[in-house]
Chains A and B, each alone.
Chain A
Amino acid sequence: MEGLFFNVNGGYVEGIVRGYRNCLLSGQNYSNLTQCETIDDVKLQLAPAYGDFLASLPPNPSTSALAGRMTDKLVSEFRYLIAQATGSTAKFLEYLTYGYMIDNIALLITGTLHERDTRELLERCHPLGWFETLPVLCVATNIEELYNSVLIETPLAPYFKGSLSHQDLDELNIEIVRNTLYKNYLEDFYNFISTHPDFAGTPTQEVMTEILQFEADRRAINITLNSFGTELSKLERRKLYPEFGKLYPEGSLMLSRAEDVEGVALAVSAVGDYKAFFDAVGLSQGGGGGLGGMGGGPADGKSLEDLFYQKEMEMSKLVFTRQFTPAVVYAWMKLKEQEIRNVTWIAECIAQNQKERIGNFISVF
């Protein structure tokens, strides 16, 4: 049924995104990129996909400049999509930008707390998280004013409401604020997908539920792992776990009680995928040595985070097998972001002459 009228409103957007998807770099492109000797070569290899966005870069640009231009392309393409979208599709696309808004607001709150010139912070904001009232945040000079009169005007106001007071903004670590917001955002997004009449019972709900559950679980696991050895208490930690996902509620409860890596491994062992990840990086055997990232102990050079990214990319790739759903936009954005990270990684490896680790990117096509 949903396929019957979807194309009336969402057909164009979906078609465009499928076109964009074909621009994503393939394994062949990546293997060409890894052969490059200089950043200029990388630029040349990227020319078919990124074209004029890279043209204005000076010779041998810095990797961050390169990443900046690639992000610019993503942003301009997304803006085109959101301009074309109508109705529930537009609402869905707006939800995608909220994640970036949270980052931007966290940035501005940090700036306000330290009484920085917030105007220069605006330049640092992620363009996708831009909303009309964002510059207004700069008007606020203290945190109470920011909370009472400015934040209420932003699309994120519901996420603040009920979970954060203005004293919290002042006292809590900004990372906790950010993660609380993100948790509320994920729950709201999940709720939107499951209850909106246009999405409930459609492929959109099916794929997005899976993806968002994965995202929620990933955040919960990451927060737990990263909070070891910090002043974050277990009670506070528990509040940051999104209240849905495959781990919720039993796994979340166990996560909130976990005191070390083994505890986390035990908590996630109920879910096959995550158990496989922990087994792969050797954390469940209680090494703890391979905990830290990509350079750590794991034999195949993959860290837990790499495996999560890998899984996310595979899920995003599978989304393109579905039709009549705006979820492809989400998948495309995730794939594109990963691509930017991949290219930045490759460029860094080339720039720093660390070729042995250059293959440590995630390519699914």
Chain B
Amino acid sequence: MSGAGPREAVFPTRQSLGLMKSKLKGAEIGHSLLKRKSEALTKRFRDITRRIDEAKQKMGRVMQIAAFSLAEVSYAVGGDIGYQIQESAKQARFRVRSKHENVSGVFLPQFESYTKEGVNDFGLTGLGKGGQQIQRCRETYARAVETLVELASLQTAFLVLDEVIKVVNRRVNAIEHVIIPRTENTIKYINSELDELDREEFYRLKKVSNKKQRDTAAADAEILAARQRQAEKDKENGGAAEEPDSVDVLGEQEDTDVIF
């Protein structure tokens, strides 16, 4: 019984039984809490997965439009304007700030995009021709980058959540399949050991009391025999003999200790 399954190395005492019982209770509470956390995270995870799917499809469309607007620019300008744009851009107009969101104790990084107004470094590019297309292309690409930032935010959250969910699930499983059975086993072991001790004790007590009874019986028989012998002797002496010393029960003599 106590040997089945792993158990913790404890001495089977009542104290450790109490410890184990409180440990089992703690483990069960922890298990249900972690289980709920894992469910909450999984719900969030599914939500993010769905949004990633949407964002990716949106990104596909937006990037296509953006690439096409670039083609429009090259048609309107009739040449490569990449270098001019690179050189005239000095300040970032489109910026990203990051913040944290707390989902059941997990910090998910979130990126938030914003445009800094008033920064328009290549506003004059294509002044002669194609300027409108360039500005429009810039707006299209700003939207595309916005989608990318959103996607990046979701992907990061996805990765972080994935990791956390794995850890939580591992804990839940560990508690469910290792810690709880082991604690239960230990409790069973302690219980069975304690029972055995009880039985042993009981048996020993019985044995001791048996022995005692036997010893008392033997002593009684001896006394009886001594009395009979005395009586016979008295009869022989004709009653001349003085009264024999009866055992003084209430006297100075001590009883032998009863040992259990």
Pick the contact of B123: A124, A126, A231 (CB < 8 A). A231
Chain B nearest CB from A223 CB (Å) reads 5
Q: A114-B87, A293-B133 are in contact. Are A182 and B80 (CB under 8 A)?
A: no
Compute how far the CA of A126 lies from the CA of B67 in the bound complex, rounded to whole angstroms: 24
Report whether B127 and A222 are in contact in the complex, using a CB–CB cutoff of 8 Å. Answer: yes
Compute how far the CA of A283 lies from the CA of B78 in the bound complex, rounded to whole angstroms: 24
Q: Which secondary structure dominates chain B's binding surface?
A: helix
Compute how far the CA of A219 lies from the CA of B84 in the bound complex, rounded to whole angstroms: 19
Per-residue CB proximity of B77-112 to A under 8 Å, as 1/0?
Answer: 011100110011000000000000000000000000
Compute how far the CA of A337 lies from the CA of B79 in the bound complex, rounded to whole angstroms: 10
Report whether B74 and A294 are in contact in the complex, using a CB–CB cutoff of 8 Å. Answer: no
User: What interface size band does chain B fall in?
Assistant: 20 to 34
Total of A-B residue pairs, C-beta within 8 Å? 109
Per-residue CB proximity of A290-309 to B under 8 Å, as 1/0?
Answer: 01111100000001010000
User: What interface size band does chain A fall in?
Assistant: 35 or more
Per-residue CB proximity of B113-157 to A under 8 Å, as 1/0?
Answer: 000000010011111111111011000000000000000000000
Chain B nearest CB from A182 CB (Å) reads 6
B22-60, CB < 8 A from A:
none
Report whether A305 and B84 are in contact in the complex, using a CB–CB cutoff of 8 Å. Answer: no
Chain B nearest CB from A206 CB (Å) reads 25
Report whether A175 and B133 are in contact in the complex, using a CB–CB cutoff of 8 Å. Answer: no
B203 on interface, CB distance cutoff 8 Å: no
Compute how far the CA of A73 lies from the CA of B79 in the bound complex, rounded to whole angstroms: 16
Compute how far the CA of A116 lies from the CA of B79 in the bound complex, rounded to whole angstroms: 21
Neighbouring A residues of B124 by C-beta, 8 Å? 173, 175-176, 226-227, 230-232
A109-131, CB < 8 A from B:
110-111, 113-114, 116, 121, 124, 126
20 A-B residue pairs with CB within 8 Å: A106-B84, A110-B88, A113-B87, A121-B83, A173-B88, A174-B87, A176-B124, A179-B127, A222-B127, A222-B128, A226-B131, A226-B132, A227-B127, A231-B120, A293-B132, A295-B72, A305-B76, A305-B133, A337-B78, A352-B71
